[in-house]
Amino acid sequence: MELRYLETGFNPAAFNMGLDEAILNAVAEGRQPPTLRFYGWKPRAVSIGYFQGIEDEVDGAACARLGVDIVRRVTGGGAVYHADELTYSIVLPEAHDLARGTILDSYKTICAGVVEGLRILGIAAEFAPLNDVVAEGKKLSGNAQTRKRSCLLQHGTVLLSVDVDEMFELLKVPSEKMKGKLIEDVKARVSSVSAMLCRDFGYKEALPAFREGFAKALSASLAAGEPSEAELDDARRLAIEKFGERSWVSKR
Amino acid sequence: MTGSYVGKAKGGKLIRLELSWTMDRIDALRLRGDFFAHPEDGFEAVEASLPGCLLTELGAAFARGIAERGVTVFGLLPEDLDDAAQAIVAAASG
């Protein structure tokens, strides 16, 4: 089984979400094969889940002050601070072997790529339903999935390092009174590849490990390619007309 | 009357419910949180169908709606909406 493999580097949040959707459009229309993509975020960004409220979750003034993008995902789940991480997305037709079974089945199937990538790095991790990957009881990866146009899109993050205090400068919490305790809880529950390996571990080093991890776990050969011009045009259009639009960001 | 609720759902996720109601019937509702629903637009159709139902039947109406539209929800249970509505009404009643 073959997957197209893309490394698209670091881009702004609206473009990143636009390219994920552009790839979904291309796969849905049969213009491109099932695709695995790795990417990063520049500038850093906060993404919120489809059903979240921007005013509830994000300190817009802090993001503006620190030059952090804000975007709403097409997938559910919680707010994520995208800083030092490797992000992947995978787009498959719903009829594809890797997308078969229940939604939970497909989360587990695809997250196996993250688990295997971590194993290659010497970190024993496991899938934690519904949508996390954990090691030593701590979250290293969050994942989110949607199904549109008879395709599955799943994207997820692998935390390479994490600064919880910086994260909470940008994210709001339900109760300011409880903020200190919440920060301590998150520090106890979340880790990173760098923390697990006790050394700095960066994006460039992560790419080959997770490329191999996904190929092995999904039993896929990865055919390296580039996004087509049509996909890039669609991504730029979506970045402007959808993901960068206030009406989308403030949708709920 | 109006009110809002923020809390951890039994389904596992954080939910935020805003309600306005007259007598025992819901006039408007906004539901937000870090839950998942597939398909997302099916969930929104269910959400849009809830105004008009009785406060005491919010969870049942939600359950019926997602079943009818084939929506799969993770992290949020129908009873979470009943719990949230009860908390809102209790707070409004002083």
Tell me the chain B residues in contact with residue A79 when contact means C-beta distances shorter than 8 Å.
34
- Does pLDDT of A128 surpass 90? yes
pLDDT of residue A114: 98
Of residues A30, A90, A18, the one with CA closest to residue A245: A18
d(CA B32, CA B48): 13
Query: Which pair of tokens denotes residue A109?
Result: 């199937």
CA angle (A147, B44, B82) in 5-degree steps: 115
Please answer whether residues B70 and B42 qualify as being in contact, where contact means their C-beta atoms are separated by less than 8 angstroms: yes
> For residue A39, what are the contacts with CB-CB under 8 A and spacing of at least 6?
A7, A8, A9, A10, A11, A16, A19, A87, A88, A89
pLDDT of residue B54: 96
Place of tokens 């949708």: A251
Mean residue pLDDT across chain A: 96
Of residues A70, A77, A66, the one with CA closest to residue A54: A70
With an 8 Å Cβ cutoff, are B39 and A145 in contact?
A: no
pLDDT of residue A176: 76
Q: Is A251 exposed, middle or buried (0-12, 13-18, 19+ CB in 10 A)?
A: middle
pLDDT of residue A18: 98
Number of domains in chain B: 1
Residues of chain B where predicted confidence (pLDDT) is lower than 50:
none
Q: What is the CATH number of the domain that holds A170?
A: 3.30.930.10
Which tens digits make up the pLDDT trace of A57-92?
999 999 999 999 999 999 999 999 999 999 999 999
Pick among A21, A50, A51, A149 to test the B interface (most B CBs inside 10 A)? A51
d(CA B7, CA B54): 21
Q: What is the CATH number of the domain that holds B16?
A: 3.30.390.50
DSSP 3-state of A130 = coil
pLDDT of residue B64: 98
* B32 Cβ under 8 Å from any chain A Cβ: yes
With an 8 Å Cβ cutoff, are A252 and B72 in contact?
A: no
With an 8 Å Cβ cutoff, are A174 and B14 in contact?
A: yes
Query: Which pair of tokens denotes residue A142?
Result: 């969050």
Which tens digits make up the pLDDT trace of A176-193?
777 888 889 999 999 999
Query: Which pair of tokens denotes residue A37?
Result: 């993509």
pLDDT of residue B61: 98
With an 8 Å Cβ cutoff, are B34 and A148 in contact?
A: no
- The mean pLDDT value for A104-123 works out to 97
CA angle (A5, A7, A13) in 5-degree steps: 120
Domain of B87, in residue numbers: 2-92
Please answer whether residues A49 and A84 qualify as being in contact, where contact means their C-beta atoms are separated by less than 8 angstroms: no
d(CA A22, CA A144): 17
The amino acid occupying position A146 is: T
d(CA A12, CA A204): 18
Domain of A240, in residue numbers: 2-249
